[in-house]
């Protein structure tokens, strides 16, 4: 089950963007240490955002609206 959050901007449930892909991060760290570190920092800052509006304006969903 996808971990969803309620976006206060879009007023709907969305699946937050993925953060660090550790497979990619480890491969990068093994072969290219500096880009690997940059990738992890970049991916962490990118992760957990709304895929629609790219914000982190998570809010509490209104009650019983999906009926
Ligand atoms: Zn949104």
| CA–centroid distance, residue 48 to ligand 1 (Å) | 11
Query: CA–CA separation, 11 vs 38, rounded Å?
Result: 33
| CA–centroid distance, residue 65 to ligand 1 (Å) | 17
pLDDT in single tens digits along all 67 residues of the chain: 568 999 999 999 999 998 888 999 999 999 999 999 999 999 988 888 999 999 999 999 877 655 5
| CA–centroid distance, residue 2 to ligand 1 (Å) | 16
| CA–centroid distance, residue 45 to ligand 1 (Å) | 16
* Concatenated DSSP letters of 40-64: HHHHHHHTT--TTT----B-PPPTT
Confidence (pTM):
0.62
């Amino acid at each position: 089950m996808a971990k969803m959050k309620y976006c206060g901007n879009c007023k709907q449930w969305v699946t937050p963007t993925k953060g660090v892909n550790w497979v990619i991060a480890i491969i990068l760290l093994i072969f290219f240490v500096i880009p690997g570190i940059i990738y992890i920092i970049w991916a962490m800052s990118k992760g957990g955002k709304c895929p629609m509006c790219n914000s982190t304006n998570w809010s509490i969903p209104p009650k019983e609206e999906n009926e």
